[in-house]
Amino acid sequence: MSILGTRVMRVEDPKFLTTGGVYVDDLRDPRLDGAGHVTYVRSVMAHARVTVDGSAAAALDGVLAVVTRADLADLAPPPVPLGFIPPALGRPWLADGVVRYVGEPIAAIVTESRYAGEDVAELVSVDYEPLTAVVDPRVSATDETLLFPDHGSNTALAFEAGSLDGLFDGCDVVVTQQITNQRVAPVPLEVRGTACVWEGDGDDARLTLWASTQSPHGARDQIATALSLDPDRVHFIAPDVGGGFGAKFGVSVEDLLLAVLSRRLGRPMRWTETRTENMLGMGHGRAQLQTVTIGGSRDGRITAYSLDVLQDSGAYPHFGAVLPFMTQLMATGTYDIERIAVRTKSVVTNTAPVVAYRGAGRPEATAAIERAVDMFAAEIGLDPVEVRRRNLFAKEAFPLTTQVGAAYDSGDYAGALDKVVAAAKYDELRAEQQRRRDSGDTKLLGIGVSSYVEITAGPEAGTEFARINVKPDGSVVVYTGTSPHGQGHATSFAMLAADELGVPIERITVVHGDTDLVARGGGTGGSRSLQLGGAAVHQGALETVDRARELAGDLFEAAAGDVVLDKARGGFHVAGSPDDVRGWAEVAASADAEHGLIVDTDFTAQGATFPFGAHVAVVEVDAETGKVTLLSMTTVDDAGPVINPVVVEGQRHGGIAQGVAQALFEEVRYDEDGNPQSTNLADYAFPSAAELPDFTLVDMATPSPLNPLGVKGIGEAGTIGATPAVQNAVVDAVAHLGVRHVEMPTTAERVWRAIQDAREGAK
Amino acid sequence: MNLTVTVNGTAHTVDVEDRTLLVHLLRDHLDLTATNIGCDTTSCGACTVLLDGESVKSCTVLAASVDGQSVTTLEGLAEGERWHRVQEGFRSKHGLQCGFCTPGMVMAAVSLLDENPSPTADQVRQGLEGNLCRCTGYHNIVAAVLDAAAAKPVTS
């Protein structure tokens, strides 16, 4: 029987549950003995000219260096994080005369001890000459105050699809709404941290750098480019990583600078940021202002949709500036809408850079269309589930290309919706809602639905590396270019290898996150890992079996074509002669007595995949206070066949919680001068267990034709479906009072005000 | 200053700065790195340890104040090869992903079950509200603690 699809407990967990993981700050590598501790002095103003004087600090005992931009004048600026981004909008190593957000690094202090770094940071003198802070992206878009005068505009990027001409002609009903998809913080529990050491001299010098990253190979290349080094001169290691959620893809300027400081001072260096620094400086997610317009007929057919996006990129464009492209690509969602137009613009502001955050551009698309469909349903007085059913792409239509150019591989959107509605007992919920309304109960019930589709391992067809090494003792080491940080690849990928090799997973080790041990890799992000990295392991295992049959053929003096693998016995025999079995150990040793059998492979997908699903959220809203309580989440998240249900359920749970958190609780706020108002976990509404219910997961598995496992990505799906389901539920709870929309997060104050405004409007 | 503290059953006498926090004593002076630091505001609970048997957030305890006391960290929870039932519960219910909140979450759960051996799911949720997790959505953490509660405590 295949191990695939069975509930295998994670092989990673014993370490985490006994000695704890080894994250960057836990490293006790002797090469890091005597490391200098780096502390960054960060801007306290959003937009200002700055003059820095570190001389008083530099003179103190225990201070190894105080470094400012002037000390780094010989370095070319760090490369922009993505090729799309105009170089004029790139960030400097350290603030170069002007700061552009609160938290921007101005100086780096190197001290003998970590405590001393915090003491000394306060002694670096920074003079600020305030400039006009541009915080609101709508103000930025006017270009009245330019953040980068050399660029000549505050617009970093713009994308568009479809024509606005006559878009809503012929519609009986047209509904429009401005929606804020608010800025949120990724908040991995482990903050950023880096350690590094140089070994050797001159051209032979080699950097070893450990960082909390999702993509060690990409990060290695980033560092090599920034320091004008051959990539072979950099050994990059991602040790255990305490969560990333997109925000740790690549490395940041603070990581890069460590390598520079280490080289110049001739000492190993360490840096671990504080949570406050993380909230100020790692970057945030979402941050779109949207205008949706939806039109159709009174019988519930949607025929036209437009989405206008103003993306707040923050001070220095990063992934966030590019993500509206993904929002555009997924704009139509699960709906077959005849005419669609999208306009997006990404602008800079004096706030922290916007980066990738779980879903990264797709949750924003789903949130927009799912609110729009609900508002359309409310306008024509039809049940939101029924309106969805009348507009979903039909199961028979796949594969298909949407009006905005996305090539959906496979799907059954109506099937997902029907399943989730049945599992949530939707009709009973509607009856209970009506009963409460009729009885004058102040605890109102809200039922929210979302139907979603997203893109994973895209937008281009991806590739990933795997090596299968069968050792001469018959054990197996799998090397992968993905870089898990909680996703359980050591378990799932061992299962994939075990399934083809007939070697028990106890004898399979998975290696990742080390650029010296793994030849190449794309890391973990965008829900790419299983469908690319897992498929590469699968492909590599098949190739290993083929190679082993040749080797066994030599041992048997038989043709490889006559040799079969008996997976149950973990060995090879000649077809028809099952008694003479040569085990993996013998066959691998025959390839190379020392190293065994090694097979390298690169898997390239035929295209991005499109997981989909449907969520039902149920909330209770106190009509007197506006307080929202989430009662239940029932979800279908179809990412194709499941390799390990334990891992996939975990991904769904975590994703759902983050989606719920955006709808109900979380928001990164700045005041009008660009001062951050949510700089730690006391101010930022990160939910605890007490704010969330159990989640009800409904299974569904529609294979993708684009990879041999038929799998799609599950890492972000829960987040994408949950946010609009919960927001729709909150609005639904108070819709009968005349409320049409409530912005996220749907705090008690917002809901209470919406109820009051609706009552005022009704007078 | 010099202080003596028993950590996971072993007495240590250490010389630390007066302002040293308990979590830094554990991590930087004793190299017990399971206990993690996740915030600056005593909000996340990643640093939770047991101090004389009760859970505390070690980022907000001065090392000087634990002179003469006894600390248990995740590293000291199992008895040899025999895991604590909370560790077993987290393993069997997949109550962790990236593992960063796990040491603190496990120690908080141990303390919770000491105070309330048979909690309801809601009591587990309320009892762990000082410990944050970004990966699991808490679903499997709650299941893990209930599983541990249902298991018979190991008596030695």
Of the residues B76, B104, B130, the one at which a domain ends: B76
B62 touches chain A (CB under 8 A): no
Identify whether residues B31 and B68 lie together within a single domain.
yes
pLDDT in tens, A608-624: 999 999 999 999 999 99
> Phi/psi zone of residue A87: left (φ > 0), alpha (ψ -120 to 50 degrees), beta?
alpha
B21: which DSSP letter?
B
B151 touches chain A (CB under 8 A): no
Helix axes B102-115, B139-150, angle to 10 degrees: 40
- Domain assignment present for residue B155? The answer is no
Do the Cβ atoms of A20 and B99 come within 8 Å?
A: yes
Q: Has residue B92 been placed in a domain?
A: yes
Kindly state whether residues B125 and B144 are assigned to the same domain: yes
Instruction: Express each pLDDT in A677-704 by its tens digit.
Output: 999 999 999 999 999 999 999 999 999 9
Under an 8 A CB cutoff, do B141 and A692 touch?
A: no
Total Cβ atoms within 10 A of residue A272: 20
Average pLDDT, chain A: 97
The CATH number of the domain holding residue B99 is 1.10.150.120
Residues A206, A333 contacting (CB under 8 angstroms): no
Considering the segment(s) A285-458+608-762 as one domain, its CATH architecture is: 2-Layer Sandwich (3.30)
By the 10 Å C-beta count (0-12 exposed, 13-18 middle, 19+ buried), B65 is classed as exposed
CATH number of the domain residue B8 falls in: 3.10.20.30
Residues 6+ apart with CB under 8 A from A422: none
Q: Which amino acid is at A374?
A: D
Which one of B100, B101, B128 would you mutate to disrupt binding with A, by most A Cβ within 10 Å of its Cβ? B100
Q: Is pLDDT above 70 for A115?
A: yes
Decide if B130 and A190 are in contact by the 8 Å CB cutoff. no
Which one-letter amino acid corresponds to residue A752?
W
Pairing of strands A577-583, A443-453: unpaired
Task: Measure A284 CA to nearest chain B CA, in Å.
Answer: 15
What mean pLDDT comes out for the span A480-494?
98
Question: CA quadruple A631, A660, A609, A534: dihedral positive or negative?
Answer: negative
Beta-carbon separation of A690 and B102 below 8 A: no
Nearest Cα to Cα of residue A648 among A660, A636, A658: A636
Mean pLDDT within A386-391: 98
Residue B156 within any structural domain of the chain = no
- Same-domain check for residues B143 and B103: yes
Task: Give pLDDT, residue A83.
Answer: 87
Cβ of B36 within 8 Å of Cβ of A646? The answer is: no
Interface test with A, best of B134, B140, B147 (most A CBs within 10 A): B134
**Cβ-defined contact of B75 to A19 (cutoff 8 Å):** yes
CA atoms within 13 A on the CB side of A664: 28
How many C-beta atoms surround the C-beta of residue B129 within 10 A? Answer: 16
Instruction: Check CB contact of B140 with chain A, cutoff 8 Å.
Output: yes
Q: Tell me whether B101 touches chain A (CB under 8 Å).
A: yes
Do A582 and A552 form a contact (C-beta atoms < 8 A)?
yes
Which chain A residue lies closest to B90 (C-alpha atoms)? A17
Burial environment of residue A401 by CB neighbours within 10 A (0 to 12, 13 to 18, 19 or more): exposed
Residues B72 and B89 in one domain: no
Closest residue in chain A to residue B44, using alpha carbons only: A681
Asked if residues A469 and A598 have their Cβ atoms less than 8 Å apart, the reply is yes
Compute the radius of gyration of chain B from its Cα atoms. 15
User: Domain extents for chain A?
Assistant: 1-32+192-272, 34-131, 285-458+608-762, 462-604
Q: Is residue B14 part of a domain?
A: yes
Could you report the predicted ipTM of this complex, rounded to two decimals? 0.98
- Do B69 and B39 belong to one domain? yes
pLDDT of residue B156: 42
Are A403 and A760 in contact by the 8 Å Cβ rule? The answer is no
B132: chain A residues, CB-CB within 8 Å: 189, 681, 686, 688
CA proximity to A617, closest of A454, A452, A753, A445: A445
Same domain for B64 and B92, yes or no, is no
| Choice among A142-156, A664-678, B141-155 with the minimum mean pLDDT | B141-155
Range of the domain at B63: 2-76
Identity of the residue in B39, B94, B99 whose CB atom sits nearest the CB atom of A650? B94
State the pTM of this model. Answer: 0.97
Q: Rounded to whole angstroms, how far apart are CA atoms A720 and A402?
A: 19
CB pairs under 8 A between A and B: 179
Residues B89 and B108 in one domain: yes
In terms of CATH architecture, what is A1-32+192-272? Answer: 2-Layer Sandwich (3.30)
Instruction: Enter the tokens of residue A157.
Output: 């990027």
Determine which helix (DSSP H) or strand (DSSP E) holds B113, and give its type and residue range.
Answer: helix B102-115
Give the domain-ending residue among B76, B97, B132.
B76
The encoded tokens of residue A523 equal 């890391």
Asked if the Cβ–Cβ distance from A688 to B128 is below 8 Å, we say yes
| Residue B92 and residue B59 share a domain | no
Q: Check B132 against A242: CB less than 8 A apart.
A: no
Architecture of domain A34-131: Alpha-Beta Complex (3.90)
At how many degrees (to 10) do helices A717-734 and A362-380 cross?
30
Q: What is the C-alpha separation between A756 and A738, in angstroms, rounded? A: 10
| Per-residue confidence (pLDDT) for residue B153, from 0 to 100 | 66
Cα A218 to Cα A162: distance, rounded to the nearest angstrom: 34
CATH of A462-604 among 3.20.20.140, 3.40.470.10, 3.10.129.10, 3.30.365.10: 3.30.365.10
Regarding whether B46 and B10 lie in a shared domain, the answer is yes
8 A C-beta contact, residue A455 and residue A406: yes
Total number of domains constituting chain B: 2
Which of the listed residues B11, B41, B76 is the one where a domain comes to its end?
A: B76
Query: Cα–chain-centroid distance for residue A304?
Result: 30
The DSSP H or E segment spanning A36 is strand A36-42
Q: How far is CA A160 from the centre of its chain?
A: 24
pLDDT average, residue stretch A255-262: 97
For residues A513-531, give the mean pLDDT: 97
Same domain, B64 and B37: yes
Q: What is the pLDDT along chain B (156 residues), one digit of tens a residue?
A: 999 999 999 999 999 999 999 999 999 999 999 999 999 999 999 999 999 999 999 999 999 999 999 999 999 999 999 999 999 999 999 999 999 999 999 999 999 999 999 999 999 999 999 999 999 999 999 999 999 999 976 554
Contact A489, A480 (CB under 8 A): yes
**Residue/partner pairs of A404-407 with CB below 8 Å, 24 or more apart:** A404/A161, A404/A162, A404/A328, A404/A329, A404/A330, A404/A331, A404/A332, A404/A340, A404/A342, A405/A161, A405/A329, A406/A329, A406/A330, A406/A332, A406/A455, A406/A610, A407/A607, A407/A608
C-beta separation of A702 from A638 below 8 A: yes
Yes or no: say if A355 and A245 are a contact pair by the CB < 8 Å rule: no
Q: Which two tokens stand for residue A615?
A: 């969520």
Residues B66, B8, single domain; the answer is yes
**Beta strand ranges found along B8-125 (DSSP E):** 10-15, 48-51, 54-57, 70-72
State both tokens at A583: 């085990």
The reply to whether domains A34-131 and A285-458+608-762 share a CATH topology is: no
Indicate whether B31 belongs to any domain.
Answer: yes
Which residue, A718, A702, A720, is CA-closest to A710?
A702
Do B40 and A274 make contact, defined as CB atoms within 8 angstroms?
A: yes
